């Protein structure tokens, strides 16, 4: 039986080995640890002897402070664990990018389980999606060259296993807590100076979410190394990213970067993909004119709710007529009566899109995790046990969001708003129409080239708090809607 980090449970009992007065020295803490050891012995996996007639499976994972690997075989629906390996990262290895740490974990597993794996084809499971492109690179990146000889010594198939399913090696890689560096036996206290410095550094950098309780500034500013997919796979990646919401080129680039991929002229390829999309060409309208910029100051999830009603549309099969999101026009593809069936998918796509202001997806901020990828979670391709987060882990994640992420989001949002306001005001001439002034309204739909471009004369009644104007005609009747200056 393998019990990871067993010494953390047994050290209070070890201190009583030479105690002459055991009953007097026994405390509630010793009882608690004794019961915990019994529970662990009842639940932890039992190691099995390898069966050389069956294929091997290896699962690896790397955290910010350690790497872990598991070797096992499948006996029908049962997992037979053969070996567990884990070690802490050195100071220099902790500066590796996520991709490089995952590759390090793979090489570590191959060396530790060499006697079982060398000469035997096996399946390698990892939770880093970019690793599935490891054997498809026309030119290897510099970080792969050092380990390429080791990898080519083995015959294996790389299978992408998301972190939600890669529980056991993930737990192994996270055994090595960074709190050890603070000193044994010393109570942990948040370093406010480091936290404030980390918050300031995020203002111009993408946020990195961590599960640990301590924030290390160098990790927030790690350079991200990305892999280059083959040319024949690039258009499929672009199309897949674009169809999830029909967003623009910047959103496509961010989506591909989030998958750990990049190639030369990626932005230009994304622009060509958007230009070649018929739905986008029909419905992407360039906005003419401007209104004074009125930014929304919202720093926490749920601080601000924006609601806009669109319609009436064609009555759907479920008797719906109005809609809150106009982006759905790209998804119905002419089937007008089915437009309301597309509302949930459009809403999910918008929540998954990385916001320019926040530089992360609203879904991630609201639920403190990344959105699960689209796949069949009922398939039994792998029976790796799945473990839900315990109460302490959930509380630690929520505390991290409240104490570090949300303050950093507030700082970044304030900075982006200031930059946007400055740029907008410098490039636009803001016009204010006083009450009682006479204005004309631009005709949006002209029936012929000789038709007038403006209609009126109208009188400004007053300006609303939203920056629009209420107008009345020559008879004193209010117009049916408010107008923005153009």
Q: What is the pLDDT of residue 185?
A: 38
Sorting pLDDT into bands at 50, 70 and 90, what band is 143? low
Model confidence pLDDT, tens digit, residues 398-427: 788 778 778 887 887 888 888 887 887 777
Question: Where is average pLDDT lowest: 60-64, 111-115, 175-179, 438-442?
Answer: 175-179
Structure tokens at 49: 């002897």
Give tens-digit pLDDT for 17-44: 777 788 888 888 888 888 888 877 766 5
Instruction: Please list the alpha-helical segments (H only) found in 4-68.
Output: 7-14, 22-25, 28-43
Conformational region of residue 265, where left means phi above 0, alpha means psi within -120 to 50, and beta covers everything else: left
Alpha helices in 317-469 (DSSP H): 329-332, 343-352, 362-367, 391-400, 406-427
The H or E element containing residue 70 is strand 66-75
Share of the chain above pLDDT 90, in %: 4
The number of angstroms, rounded, from the C-alpha of 336 to the middle of its chain's C-alpha atoms is 33
Query: Is pTM beyond 0.75 here?
Result: no
Secondary structure E strands in 230-349: none
Helix (H, G, I), strand (E, B) or coil at 196: helix
**Cβ 42 vs Cβ 81: under 8 Å:** no
Q: Could you tell me the CA-to-CA distances from 154 to 37, 51, 142, 386, 425 in Å, in that order?
A: 38, 19, 21, 28, 61
Percent of the chain scoring above 70 in pLDDT = 64
pLDDT value at 428 more than 50: yes
Residue 350 CA from chain centroid, whole number: 14
Q: Identify the pLDDT of residue 5.
A: 58
Cα–Cα distance for residue pair 261/307, rounded to 1 Å: 35
Cα–Cα distance measured from residue 141 to residue 118, given in angstroms and rounded to the nearest whole number = 25
Q: 78-88 and 66-75 as β-strands: parallel, antiparallel, unpaired?
A: antiparallel
Give the per-residue pLDDT at 339: 64
Return the higher-pLDDT residue of 377 and 409: 409
pLDDT tens digits for 196-252? 666 566 554 544 444 443 333 333 344 455 778 888 888 988 988 888 877 888 888
């Amino acid at each position: 039986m393998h019990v990871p980090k067993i010494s953390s449970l047994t050290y209070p009992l070890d201190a009583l080995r030479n105690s002459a007065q055991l009953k007097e020295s026994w405390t509630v803490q010793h009882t608690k640890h004794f019961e915990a050891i019994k529970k662990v012995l009842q639940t932890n996996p039992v190691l099995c002897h390898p069966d050389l007639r069956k294929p091997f499976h290896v699962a690896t994972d790397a955290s910010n402070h350690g790497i872990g690997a598991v070797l096992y075989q499948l006996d029908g629906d049962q997992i037979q664990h053969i070996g567990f390996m884990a070690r802490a990262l050195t100071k220099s290895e902790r500066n590796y990018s996520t991709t490089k740490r995952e590759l390090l974990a793979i090489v570590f597993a191959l060396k530790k389980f060499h006697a079982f794996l060398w000469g035997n084809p096996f399946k390698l499971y990892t939770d880093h999606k970019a690793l599935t492109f490891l054997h498809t690179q026309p030119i290897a990146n510099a970080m792969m060259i050092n380990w390429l000889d080791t990898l080519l010594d083995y015959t294996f198939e790389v299978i992408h296993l998301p972190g939600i399913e890669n529980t056991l090696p993930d737990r192994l890689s996270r055994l090595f807590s960074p709190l050890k560096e603070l000193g044994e036996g010393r109570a942990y206290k948040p370093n406010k100076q480091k936290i404030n410095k980390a918050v300031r550094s995020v203002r111009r950098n993408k946020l990195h979410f961590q599960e640990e309780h301590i924030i290390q500034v160098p990790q927030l500013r790690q350079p991200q190394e990305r892999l280059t997919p083959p040319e024949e796979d690039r258009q499929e990646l672009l199309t897949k990213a674009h169809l999830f919401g029909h967003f623009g080129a910047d959103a496509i680039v961010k989506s591909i970067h989030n998958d750990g991929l990049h190639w030369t002229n990626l932005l230009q390829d994304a622009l060509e993909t958007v230009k070649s999309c018929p739905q986008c060409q029909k419905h992407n309208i360039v906005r003419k004119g401007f209104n004074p910029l009125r930014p929304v100051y919202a720093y926490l999830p749920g601080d601000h709710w924006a609601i806009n009603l669109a319609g009436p549309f064609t009555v759907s099969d479920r008797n719906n007529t109005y809609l809150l999101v106009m982006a759905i026009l790209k998804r119905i593809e002419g089937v007008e009566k089915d437009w309301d069936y597309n509302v949930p998918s459009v809403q999910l796509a918008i929540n998954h899109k990385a916001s320019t202001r926040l530089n992360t997806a609203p879904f991630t901020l609201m639920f403190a995790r990344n959105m699960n990828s689209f796949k069949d979670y009922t398939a039994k391709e792998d029976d790796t046990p799945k473990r839900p987060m315990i109460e302490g882990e959930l509380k630690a994640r929520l505390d991290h969001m409240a104490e570090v992420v949300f303050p950093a989001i507030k700082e970044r949002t304030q900075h982006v708003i200031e930059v946007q306001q400055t740029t907008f005001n410098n490039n636009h001439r803001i016009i204010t129409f006083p009450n009682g002034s006479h204005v004309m309204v631009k005709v949006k739909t002209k029936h012929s080239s000789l038709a007038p471009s403006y209609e009126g004369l109208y009188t400004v009644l007053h300006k609303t708090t939203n920056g629009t104007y209420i107008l009345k005609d020559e008879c004193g009747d209010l117009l049916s809607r408010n107008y923005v200056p153009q």
